[in-house]
Every structure is written in structure tokens, then in C-alpha cells.
Structure 1
Amino acid sequence: MYLMDLQNVQAAPRELKITSTSQFNADTFAPHGISVVEDSKQGRHVVFVVNHPYGDEAVASRVEKFLYDPLKQELIHQTYFSDPTMMVVNDLQATGENSFYFTNSNYFTKPLAVLLEVLLELPLTDVVYFDGQTYTVVDSGLKSPNGVAMSPGGKYVYVAYFVAREIAVYKRNEDNTLRPVQKYPLYGWPDNIQVDQKTGHLFVALHPLAYKFLAYTDDIGGQTTPSQVIQLAVEDGLIKSSQELFYDHGDLISGSSTAIVYDGTLLVGSVFHNLVTCKVNVPLL
């Protein structure tokens, strides 16, 4: 886990200190999705991280909860969450200090079975909500949901469907169940979603060519795959329009997985490759 100062993007990201506990082994920690809850009154950050522990075939996924100590640049492990509803967890969106939505991107865990699940577009996965006590499936029969995010104020939830090539918009009910209100098609396979907390607009990292991305994941050192970032304009929770912010054939960055704009600078992360920053040279929506 690394910390990057977006006010000084030329500085190298700093690795955060993480210490093992009786409940958590830092040596087998394999982080995936991440969500942060900021408590401005107490001046602290709660960090939830999807973990696929190395070497533990019995546990494909679990969620770790940390407290961030800014003085020591350290993540302090608090507890973990594990449940049979966690198949292959891809991403999560915290709604409080002990509650979150999460996506299961795959039903199967073996590489060949996962490949067939994606190629055959099997609707075997779901979105789950944990309220601190109970895990509830809030949408099911889905095709590889990846990133999940929430609108400022928490009225809407956005889910990126990799295989279906769309962003699904849900209205969040008072009991935290989800009501689908929009499906926005994309010309690419979406990975993660970031929300501009001021405007509510979305930044989405895409894989423009799925076959190249799948070949790349099988031969990371010998293949490249394109990267793309788009911005989606949102009005009253619904997506109204889109524009491309970034495209690369794969030489600069392969397999874009997440992106965010801060003060005119675009930060693009990848699944296995580089971290890239560049100035945005088009007007934002």
C-alpha cells in the first residue's frame, strides 16, 4: 500500500508501514479494491481493503479494516471481515466505519474456469451489502461486476460491469438495498470508478480491447495492452454524457485500472504495470 501526494505528483509514492497481528499476516497481504471513510471530527481515516491472501486457497477473499496514522505513515490493522458471500471480491465502497458494498467479479477461482466464465459471459456473480452484522445480496445474476462507487451524499451507487461493458446506476434505498435506474453502455471494458466529490462526475478506467488485456494478464512481460480513461458527466445521479481524457496503446501504461483528476492532473493506475500522471488538456465536463 502506497500514499501519493496529489499536490506534489513529482514526489515518489511512499510505502505505508503495515504490521502483522494475530488476525492479519502482512507477508501474505495481497490488496485489491480500497475504500476510505474520513472522520473529519476525530481527524482520522478508516481504510477498507480487499485482500486475496497469498498461498491461502481456503480464503479467496476477505476485507481488512485499518486505521491510518498520518504521523507514522502507517496502516494499523483493526479487524477483518469474511463470509461465504465473498467469492472473488473485486472492489468495495464503504458506507460507514463497519459497513460497505462489495462486488464479486468472478464465481470461479481456478484460472481456466475464470477465463471460461468471462468468455461465455456467464451471469454468475453479484453485489453484496454488509451492514455491520448481516451480509445481503442486493443484486445477482451479473456479468463480472468490477468497480463500485457511491455518489456524494450516498443516494446513488455505481457499478462497472466488465463483461457487459456498461456502468449500472442504482438508487440506494433506506434499507441499503439497490434499485436499478440506468445502464450506460461503454465502448470498452470498465474496471474501476472514481467519483469527483465536488461535481459528482465519474472517472472510469477502461480496457479498450478485452482480448489484448486477457493475453496481457497471461504474459505480462511479453505483451502490452491499451489503456483508456473517460469522464462521465452526472446530473441528479444519472449519467448524461461522456468524453475521453486519456488513451495509450500500452507502451506508456498497460491495463489501466483506475483514474482520478486532481487540480488539473490526471493520475492513472494499472493492474500490473505503471502509475502515470499527466496534465488534462481538455475542458472537464
Structure 2
Amino acid sequence: MRITKRISLVIVLLIITYALYTLISTGYFRTIENQFKGTIVKKIPLPGAEDITISYLDSFALISSTKRLIYPPTQEEQGGLYFMDLKGKSFSTKHLTESYNKPFAPHGISMIKKDSVYTIMAVNHTTKRHSIEVFRFDGQQISHVKSLTDPSMISPNDLVLIDNNRFYFTNDHGYTEGVGKFLEEYGGLSVSNVIYYDGKTFKEVANGIAYANGINFDPKRKLLFVASPRGFLIKVYNVRKNGSLDFIEDISCNTGVDNIEIDQYGNLWSGAHPNLLRFKAYAKGKKDTAPSEIIKIKYAGKNNYKVEKVYVEDGSIMSGSSVATSFGNLVITGNVMDDEFLILEKLD
């Protein structure tokens, strides 16, 4: 009887320890205090602007928009890619992929310019498959080039182009159902990865990541940055010529970093989820709001970085922030499920 009681006590203690670990590691006990030195310039009525990237060469933003009811989806969703001119202050959006008549629910996006033409890639989720859709954009018209699929696309989230043909993408899960998925989301099981496409074949180049999410590449420094929201960190890798990666370090962000954008000065920007459990409930439709956070990271090399909180709020203005990028004094933000996104202006 004593042995049975001891075993039961150990089990209870393990359950309590696991529950406390989950709550602490997901930011459940964090107090959200609204913080922003600036103003809201405009609210843009575009649903689920989950990823946004900027062309500093031509002063426009590319926006990935999908009308989401819950996340992850349980039925076919429809979205598109949108163009927003940043030269003026109207911030009007233009639907680029309106004529693309196949199921299209874009998630992560990336673009690169060569010879006055942009190659655009978007992670696409449909009820039948995951794919990466490739587009050609000449500044006026967009055309679909091809669809890429591969068994390595287990749960693709975001991608970044290295050139017109080569790119990296993240799988945010190693498991898509069952106990494995549960342990990834609540226990922090680190089994997601990064896949490299060299123009011909797909190859895993990094693994052991807790919910690999946003990804971006700094061509000047040959560095790849991968967000791990479940780990509250951004992983830094050196990129070799053959596409393989050398791990450098983890940047501790103290928040659930989502997409990563890099401005013209080399600073990293990320929309983030300071309370992952609250965001999970919001994404499932069980809560009306989820807190948002935007951070800026000045990265000067190993063990030399500074994380700045730019915007923090409880979700009453914008819930579930997933991306942020700067353009002058403007901070353009995006989110997973809101019906609009925000353009902010910093005062300092």
C-alpha cells in the first residue's frame, strides 16, 4: 500500500510539474501592460494579414491575407496576395491574385527582385495538400508560374528566397496529430525543422526546433534567422554556399516570436504572442482576443544583441500579432485572424 501511495504521489507531482512548466514556458503568468510610443496611422480592412514583407527598392508592401475562422483550419479557406503602395499615405490595397482561380490560402511569403521582375513565393494550405506557389510580378501584373509540392512539406509555415530558385522553409510541426502534436504545442517537444530547396531537391538542414515558424535571410551577413515561438527565441545560423547551416546561437526574446522581417539597416522585426495559451484559445475561437507584441532586435553578432519592445497591448486593438516591419517611422503590422491590420507611427 505504501509503495502504491508513493507511486501515486510521484505521478501527481509529475503532472503538477508538467502543468507548471507549460504555464510558465508559454507566458501564461505574464502581465500584459500596454506599451507604445506612437500613434495608429490607419486601420487597413484586410482579414488575416498573417505575413507582410516590404520592397525597399520600390516602396511597396506585399501582404498575405486569408480569411480565417479558426486556426488551424478545418475547412477550405480562401485568400490572396495584396499590393500596398508606400510612396503616398493612402495605403490602399490591390488584390494581385484575384484571377488565380485555384484554392489559395496563403500563409508565409517571400519575394526577391532580379532584372526588374519579382519572384514571389507563398506557402499555400488547402484541404487536399500543402504547396508552395510561385508567381512572377513585374510591378503591374502577376502571373502564376508553378506549384511546388514535396513529402517534406509536413506542416509548412514560412519561407525565404535566397535567389529565384533556391529557398528555405519551416515546418512548424513534426507531428500533425495525436500525442506528438500535443507534446509539441504544450510540452515544448522540439521536433520541427527547416528544409532547403536547391532548385532541384528538398533537404532537411536544421531540426530539433520547438515550433519552427518565421524565417528570414540576411544576404549581407549570410545569416539565417528562424523563429521558435514555443521556445521564446530566434535561432541564428550561418549559411554555407551549399545551403547547409551552422548553428550560431539562440536570441532570447521572452515572447512567442512569429514571422521575422529584416529592415534596410539589418534590424530584425517580429510580431509575437506574449501568451501562447491565450493565443491558442483565441485561434480556436474560444476567446475573443489575444495579446499582441512587436519587438525589434539589433543583432551585431554572437552574444551581441538588443531586444526592444516596440508595441505591447492586451488584444483589444489588435489580436494575435504575427508580423511587423518598418518603413521609415512607420511600423506595418499583421495578424492571424483579425479583420484589419494596423499601420503605426513611432514617435522616436
1:244, distance to aligned residue in structure 2 (A): 1.1
Q: 1 CA distance for matches of 2:303 and 2:218?
A: 10
The equivalent of 2:90 in structure 1 is 10
Q: 2:108 aligns with which of 28, 33, 36?
A: 33
Change (3 A) 1:226 1:203: same
- What secondary structure, in the 3-state scheme, does the structure 2 residue paired with 1:145 have? coil
Aligned residues between the structures: 267
Moved over 4 A (4+): 110-113, 236-239
With normalisation by structure 1, the TM-score equals 0.88
The equivalent of 1:23 in structure 2 is none
Q: 1:224 aligns with which of 272, 289, 294?
A: 289
Q: 2 CA distance for matches of 1:150 and 1:254?
A: 27
Counterpart contact for 1:19–1:77, Cα < 8 Å:
no
Q: 1:172 aligns with which of 239, 242, 247?
A: 239
- What secondary structure, in the 3-state scheme, does the structure 2 residue paired with 1:118 have? helix
Q: 1 CA distance for matches of 2:88 and 2:177?
A: 41
Higher strand proportion (structure 1 or 2)? 1
The equivalent of 1:150 in structure 2 is 217
- What secondary structure, in the 3-state scheme, does the structure 2 residue paired with 1:139 have? strand
The equivalent of 1:271 in structure 2 is 336
| CA RMSD between the two structures | 1.9
1:41-120 aligned at under 5 Å gives the runs 42-53=115-126, 55-56=127-128, 59=129, 61-72=130-141, 75-110=142-177, 114-120=181-187
In structure 2, the gaps of 5 or more residues are 1-80
- What letter matches 1:129 in structure 2? Y
Q: 1 CA distance for matches of 2:221 and 2:160?
A: 10
Change (3 A) 1:142 1:14: same
Work out which structure has the larger RCO, using CA pairs closer than 8 Å and 6 or more positions apart in sequence. Answer: 2
Deviations 1:212-237 (A, max 9, x none): 100100117x5100111111002247
1:136, distance to aligned residue in structure 2 (A): 1.3
- What secondary structure, in the 3-state scheme, does the structure 2 residue paired with 1:167 have? strand
Q: 1 CA distance for matches of 2:113 and 2:182?
A: 37
Q: 1 CA distance for matches of 2:220 and 2:132?
A: 24
Counterpart check, 1:214 vs 2:294: no
Counterpart contact for 2:253–2:307, Cα < 8 Å:
no
In structure 1, the gaps of 5 or more residues are 21-25
Q: 2 CA distance for matches of 1:115 and 1:214?
A: 12
The equivalent of 1:193 in structure 2 is 260
1:278, distance to aligned residue in structure 2 (A): 1.2
- What secondary structure, in the 3-state scheme, does the structure 1 residue paired with 2:88 have? coil
- What letter matches 1:66 in structure 2? F
Higher helix proportion (structure 1 or 2)? 2
Q: 2:188 aligns with which of 106, 121, 134?
A: 121
Greater Rg over alpha carbons, structure: 2
Q: 2 CA distance for matches of 1:177 and 1:17?
A: 33
The equivalent of 2:200 in structure 1 is 133
- What secondary structure, in the 3-state scheme, does the structure 1 residue paired with 2:107 have? strand
Determine what percentage of the aligned residue pairs are the same residue: 28
Deviations 1:186-222 (A, max 9, x none): 11111010001x31110111101111100100117x5
Counterpart contact for 2:82–2:97, Cα < 8 Å:
no
Change (3 A) 1:194 1:272: same
Greater shift, 184-193 or 107-116, is seen at: 107-116
Counterpart contact for 2:196–2:203, Cα < 8 Å:
yes
1:114, distance to aligned residue in structure 2 (A): 3.8
